[in-house]
Amino acid sequence: MTPFGEKMRAMRRDKGVTQKEMAQALGVSPAYLSALERGHRGVPSWTFLQKVLGYFNIIWDDAEELRRIAEQSRPRVVIDTSGLSPAATHLANLLATDIALLDEDDIAALIGRIRTVGRRSKRFD
């Protein structure tokens, strides 16, 4: 499941609607909606994201947050380490091969560490 799929499923359940009802309202198939929620589809299009924002009546900061979540929901990621250090390539390959071995606490700790480093370099929000 992707962060966007998880968020969309939670919003749909909070609203008390089925995938079929939501899919009909958004003009997509229930299979597409299911694939998005399960992380079998990549980043949704801007048009689809706008439909979701309207469907849930999401505005301003919450809309921006959902857009950010959608952008970070690529189930298949390619990391280009050309021009970086051998250690950076090693890290990327470790993540690619061993990410399934990490539990949620390990993942949260790594995300926190990367965000801390990113804030110091002012590359992340």
Helix and strand numbers (H, E) in the chain are 7, 0
Give residue 44's pLDDT. 93
What residues have CB less than 8 Å from 25, skipping those under 6 apart?
Answer: 17, 55
How many CB atoms sit inside 10 A of residue 47's CB? 8
Chunk the chain into consecutive blocks of 10 residues (it has 125) and report each block's average pLDDT, rounded to whole numbers: 93 96 97 93 93 96 94 89 95 93 96 88 60
For tokens 């609203």, the residue is: 15
CATH of 3-71, one of 1.10.260.40, 2.60.260.20, 3.40.50.300, 3.40.640.10: 1.10.260.40
pLDDT 10s digits, 62-96: 999 999 999 989 888 899 999 999 999 999 999 99
